[in-house]
Amino acid sequence: MDQVTEGQGADLIGIAEVATLLAVGRTTAFRLAQEPDFPAAFKLGSKIVKYSRIAVLAWLASKQER
């Protein structure tokens, strides 16, 4: 199966990569994901939750501007 490299779904990341991007642990990433201004999650299954890398990076940039 080919990897998705561009287009819809190409920038979806799991909580572990969210934690890496934010330089925090997974528990903190889960806690931040509950904040009302954090980008919405995409539920891809009963236990699969992904986030848009672009939206997470934009959220991080908005926090750093303050």
The domain spans of the chain are: 12-64
Residue 1 tokens, joined: 């199966």
pTM of the model: 0.81
CA atoms within 13 A on the CB side of 55: 16
pLDDT of 2? 41
Distance CA 32, CA 24 (A): 10
Whether pLDDT at 39 is above 90:
yes
| CB-CB contact of 56 with 64 (8 Å) | no
Residue 24 tokens, joined: 């925090």
Q: What is the mean pLDDT of residues 26-53?
A: 95
pLDDT of 4? 43
